[in-house]
Amino acid sequence: MDVDLEAVEAAAKELYIRALKILPDDIKRGFAELVGRETRATAKTVLGTMIRNIEVAEATDNLLCQDTGLPIYTVTIGRNVLVDGVDLAAAIRRGCERATREHPLRSSVVHPLTRENAHTSTGPRIPDIRFEYSDRPEELTIGMIPKGSGSENNSWLRMAIPAEGVDAIKRFVIDCVLEAGGRTCPPTIVGVGVGGTADLCVHLAKLAATRALGTHCADPEGATLERELTKAVNTLGVGPQGLGGDATAFAVHVELAATHITMNPVAVNMQCHSARRATATFTPQGVTYGF
């Protein structure tokens, strides 16, 4: 399958805008569930305002949140997909710039030392583009996550040691949720990376945070940890916006990797309640959009 780079550029632009405007259905269902369970009046009001915001964003074709985030694209490539990776990355970068200029979107991207804003949502190594490989030979999928600063600024890594065991992981997750309070715009999806190297562990936490609600860790031990932590986090009383309540997280998601015999790394990364993500899948039949 040949991939048309102009179509990739158009999709990269469209994905950025769609991710900022359209809330995935699993999150809408998550809201309904949390409202049903919430026992505190202020928290119910806050959740109601969030749901009203989703309705207004749809009715006015506006962004859910003003934070256009750091643009992150994931590219998953099947065996029979013919494409030059350098050209593909350049096309994605152009699409990201075009969304920013043509929509227009606020550029939230600055040089890390000079703090200069090129007003393109791009800069050195940004957009962050991650390549992975698919077992579906005739498919190319581009995912887009505009990661807002409220949730990304609250990211943590702890290189625990084997003697601390799973307890270290549990305690760390609880303490990160408490430390984040309302800053991450709860209810959140709490992404937890377990194992791997330091950088892989943090990456896994982000993958976990941006996984659809209702999906589970492929590893049965990881899935059990998800269930336990989801329940525990929602007893802490942080609540929506950190103003108190039951609805602190939609879920805790865990992704894990094998690690070194001397290591026990754990990372936390959160997804805010606007849970922005979008995908475009290219097949020989054309492009389809999803979450």
Partner 1 sequence: MAHYELTLPVDDDHVRRLRVNDTVTLQRTLYGIRDATLIHIFDRGRTSRFDLRGHAVIHTAPNVRRVEKSAAHPAGYAPLCVGTTTSARMERFTRPLMAQYGVRLIVGKGGMGQDTLEAFRDLGGAYLAIVGGAAALETTWIEAIEDVDLDDLNPESLWKFRIRDFGPLLVAMDSHGGSVYRQVQDDAAARRERALADLGVRR
Candidate list 33, 244, 259, 287; residue touching partner 1; CB under 8 A: 244
List 89, 242, 287, 290, residue binding partner 1 (CB under 8 A)? 242
Q: Which of 32, 66, 162, 199 binds partner 1 (CB under 8 A)?
A: 66
Burial class (CB in 10 A: 0-12, 13-18, 19+), 39: exposed
Q: Pick one of 12, 19, 72, 233: the residue that binds partner 1 (CB under 8 A).
A: 233
CB 267 within 8 A of CB 253: no
Whether the Cβ atoms of residue 233 and residue 172 lie closer than 8 Å to each other = no
Question: Binding marks (x or -) toward partner 1, 74..103, rule CB under 8 A?
Answer: ------------------------------
105 interacts with partner 1 by CB under 8 A: yes
Contacts of residue 227, defined as CB under 8 A and 6 or more positions apart, other chains included, come to: none
Q: Minimum CB separation from partner 1 for residue 93, in Å?
A: 21
**205-224 residues near partner 1, rule: CB under 8 A:** none
Q: Please identify which residue in 29, 32, 37, 56 interacts with partner 1, judged by CB under 8 A.
A: 56
Whole-angstrom distance, CA of residue 74 vs CA of residue 176: 26
How far is the C-alpha of 285 from the C-alpha of 266, rounded, in Å? 41
Q: Phi/psi of residue 146, each to 5°? A: -85, 105
Comparing CB distances to partner 1, the nearer of 23 and 83 is 23
| 140 φ/ψ angles, rounded to the nearest 5 degrees | -125, 120
Strand, coil or helix: 189: strand
Q: What does the binding site for partner 1 look like in residue numbers (CB under 8 A)?
A: 42, 46, 49-50, 52-54, 56-57, 60, 62-68, 104-108, 115, 117, 149-150, 153, 167, 170-171, 174-175, 178, 181-185, 228-229, 231-233, 235-244, 272-274
